[in-house]
Amino acid sequence: MKVAPSLLSCDFAKMGEEIVKVDNAGADLIHLDVMDGHFVPNLTIGPAIVKAVRPYTQLPFDVHLMIDYPLDYIDAFADAGADIITFHIESMSEPNMTIDKIHSRGIKAGLVIKPGTPVDAVFPYLDKLYMVLVMTVEPGFGGQEFMEDMMPKVAAIKAECAKRNLDVLVEVDGGISEATAPAASKAGVDICVSGTGVFKAADPSAAIQAIRNS
C-alpha cells in the first residue's frame, strides 16, 4: 500500500518543513485537505497555500476538495500544482464536467464518497477515474475513529473494476494508523491517507512503514 500523510494534522505554521519531514520519512504522496466551511463545517487551506508549499517536495500532491463547487476551483488548484484532484460526488458540481475539466489540465481525477453514500454512486464514472476515495470518517476533521464497516465499499469498487476490466485505485481516508491499516489492506486498498497516525506519531517514519507493510 502507498501512504499519503494528510497535512491536516501537521504544524500549519511550518507546513513546508512538515512536508520535507514526511517526504524524508518515506511518504508516497502528500494529501492536502481543502475545506470551505459549507460542504464541511471546517475551514482549512486554499490554492495560495498549496502553491506556497509546492516547492518543498517532488512527491505528488493529492488534493482532496471538500467544497460545494469543485468545478469552479479546478483551474486554481491546477495552477497551484495539484497532481491528483479528488472531489465529492455529494458536491454541487456536475461530475462529468468536473472530471473533464480536471483532465483538460493534465491532472488525474478522483471521486470521493462520504460514509453515508452508497458505493454505486461512483460506478457511472469509473472509466474516467484514476482513483476513488472512500471516506472512513465523516469529512471535516482529523483524529476521528476509523469506520471499518466501509471496507465492503472498497471490495465492491474493486469487483466492479475487475468486471469491467478497469484499473482504478482505491484510497481510504480517516482514522488510518498502524492499528487500522491491516483492515484496509485486507480489503484491497491501494493508498492510505493518514493524518494523526503519521504526524502525531513519535516516529513518523516508523508509522509510515508500518502502514505500508500492513
Point out which residues bind Zn ion (CB under 5 A).
33, 64, 173
Contact call for residue 117 and ligand DX5 (CB under 6 A) = no
Residue 203 a catalytic site member:
no
Distance from the Cα of residue 3 to its chain's centroid: 10
Q: Which of 51, 52, 126, 144 binds ligand DX5 (CB under 6 A)?
A: 144
Contact call for residue 197 and ligand DX5 (CB under 6 A) = yes
Strands 169-173 and 30-35: unpaired
Cβ neighbours of residue 116 closer than 8 Å, sequence gap 6 or more: none
CB half-sphere exposure, 16, CA atoms < 13 A: 7
Contact call for residue 110 and ligand DX5 (CB under 6 A) = no
Q: Tell me the three cell numbers of residue 120.
A: 454505486
Q: Taking the complex as a whole, how short is the minimal distance between the CB of residue 45 and ligand DX5, in angstroms? A: 12
Residue 149 a catalytic site member:
no
Contact call for residue 195 and ligand DX5 (CB under 6 A) = yes
Q: Which is nearer to ligand DX5, 25 or 162 (CB)?
A: 25
Rounded (5°) CA angle 125-128-132: 65
Task: Identify each DSSP E strand in the chain by its residue range.
Answer: 2-5, 30-35, 61-66, 84-88, 108-113, 131-135, 169-173, 191-194
Which amino acid belongs to residue 194? S
Q: Tell me the three cell numbers of residue 174.
A: 480517516
Q: Which of 18, 28, 33, 178 binds ligand DX5 (CB under 6 A)?
A: 33
Q: Which of 47, 70, 140, 204 binds ligand DX5 (CB under 6 A)?
A: 140
From the list 28, 33, 36, 62, the catalytic residue is 33
Q: Which of 1, 8, 63, 207 binds ligand DX5 (CB under 6 A)?
A: 8
Contact call for residue 173 and ligand DX5 (CB under 6 A) = yes
Q: Tell me the three cell numbers of residue 119.
A: 458505493
CA distance 88 to 83: 17
Where does this chain bind ligand DX5 (CB under 6 A)?
6, 8-9, 31, 33, 64, 137, 139-140, 142-144, 173-176, 193-197
